[in-house]
Structure 1
């Protein structure tokens, strides 16, 4: 186990992608983004061959360079993914690493007045560009998306909204069943906002005036600001929290906007899109701190209730918490590749 980077059997083409849809976004974030395309071994040897594609998206606060983070005695996912193809564990595929970072930490891969048009950027800009510049099998049945945590959320909702693009997906500990993964933290946020006159933007201004994550409330309030900007921003982009910051009382209309974007609750509205999927991987750790194993169970059952056939789904709970589960990603990658390869 080398403590530094290893040579790949395939290669990673590193691009700078210019997004017109992200230009002038509400947070002033860059509209030029890194985009990595992994090319499997043998791609250059047969110029007539076309390949399925798996899009990989990250969790909250994730940005593309983090894929190269190397933990002691663990390998980063791009190396694990390369091994899947180098050892013929799965048929070859292109793997596209997409950046959807925002100043608030993430986009949830949605179009929002609070963050920008990240769903459209992925679907209407990145996917067509990859198809135009690489030898892809440019049909939904040969295109998958996968992610963990908020990336798992994006992997669930993107095929619901765009079944014309994605015909398979994998979600690892994806945000789901919002009353369990989000709601229990609302009272803590109320307590933490007392020091900021109940105004999360006062905290945000303080956060940006100092070294980040030097106060105990930083992580939780950043999450709430980021999620709120995605799920319940006002038309002018102002994040509208789903609870009163002084009393903690829920704002039913705002909270409903969050619930409307819960994958478990979305399934009945997008049953046809889910029935069209040819491969769905769902997993989660049984010690997940945000109860996303419970969310995974609920999402699995919602799919079955919506008429998705059991033989299309791989559902698994495993012994782990929320973090350090990158060893799960190559399992779903190989499983998806077998199912999206003609």
Structure 2
């Protein structure tokens, strides 16, 4: 295993999507977004059309990080290339989408506090890819996959837009919000009280004067605020927190979060119908996930089973592992999805 990049059997094109939907977004983030498009071996030698898998990242992820290399491990684009180079998986185009924000992420939702990232993905990135590459441009041959917040996006995007996506893979995706999010609220409230007089704006002012991560609490604070900006952003651009200064839930704001919990969404007929129409649903998580997203995966699996999603279209697994360093799971779902959306 080389400690530097390996040659690919396919190739990756680097391009930019000029997004009108993200132009003048509330956070002032760029509206021109990088996109990486992987073309499988043989793409240039044939006129065939290909299914497409869209891959989205977890919180604080941006598209350039896909090629980050850890010791003794290989990045996903190389692992994905191996899937197709082996020759026993139907070839597909893989699209790596950027949805970074100044808060570290968007949850792939439209929010007046962050921007229209759901619409950007569905109404700009997907048509952009279909216009430039030889895709099988219909939902039956289009999947979305991701881990953590990307796994969340992979769950909710096909529920919101079943006209576009016919399959999904979620690795440790954010779900069962009562379990994965609310236990953190008292700790964040205490940090705000003791360090920033209970005021997030004082945190942001402090953070602007130094490098992010130079205080242990930086990630906890930015992450919870970023989630709130996605789930409970207000029309005037402000953000409502789901907890008060004691860490207790604020019921009306928390209800806004719960409306976007994939477990609860799956129990609503509109979304259940969308899930029943999926060709393939992959759900997994590590048994030792620090955010208890193994319970979220279990609850989402139970919800879709209850709502009548056929078992033969679902792959559910809890594996030995935690939240990080699970990139070796992604090619497993990629192969499984491609076997199904190629048909």
Preserved contact between residue 190 and residue 246 of structure 2 (Cα < 8 Å)? no
Deviation at 1:256, TM superposition (A): 0.6
Corresponding residue of 2:134 = 135
- Alignment pair present for 1:15 and 2:15: yes
Corresponding residue of 2:308 = 307
Corresponding residue of 2:155 = 156
- Alignment pair present for 1:338 and 2:336: no
Number of equivalences: 340
C-alpha distance in 2, partners of 1:66/1:271? 33
C-alpha distance in 2, partners of 1:14/1:143? 20
- Alignment pair present for 1:222 and 2:222: yes
Corresponding residue of 1:326 = 327
C-alpha offsets along residues 34-75 of structure 1, whole Å, 9 cap, x if unaligned? 00110000011112x100000000000000110010000000
Preserved contact between residue 89 and residue 334 of structure 1 (Cα < 8 Å)? no
Corresponding residue of 2:266 = 267
Corresponding residue of 2:282 = 281
Query: Structure 2 unaligned runs (5+)?
Result: none
Corresponding residue of 2:190 = 191
- Alignment pair present for 1:95 and 2:94: yes
C-alpha distance in 2, partners of 1:226/1:134? 34
C-alpha distance in 2, partners of 1:227/1:214? 21
C-alpha distance in 1, partners of 2:312/2:136? 24
Deviation at 1:89, TM superposition (A): 3.5
2:146 counterpart SS class? strand
2:101 counterpart SS class? coil
Preserved contact between residue 286 and residue 321 of structure 1 (Cα < 8 Å)? yes
Preserved contact between residue 186 and residue 248 of structure 2 (Cα < 8 Å)? no
Equivalent residues in 2 for 1:70-81, closer than 5 Å: 70-81=69-80
Preserved contact between residue 212 and residue 218 of structure 1 (Cα < 8 Å)? yes
Corresponding residue of 1:250 = 249
TM-score (norm 2): 0.98
Deviation at 1:127, TM superposition (A): 0.2
C-alpha offsets along residues 152-210 of structure 1, whole Å, 9 cap, x if unaligned? 00000000000000000000000000011101111100110012111112111211210
C-alpha distance in 2, partners of 1:24/1:257? 25
Query: Structure 1 unaligned runs (5+)?
Result: none
C-alpha distance in 2, partners of 1:294/1:250? 21
Corresponding residue of 1:121 = 120
2:267 counterpart SS class? helix
C-alpha distance in 2, partners of 1:85/1:300? 28
Deviation at 1:237, TM superposition (A): 1.3
- Alignment pair present for 1:82 and 2:81: yes
TM-score (norm 1): 0.99
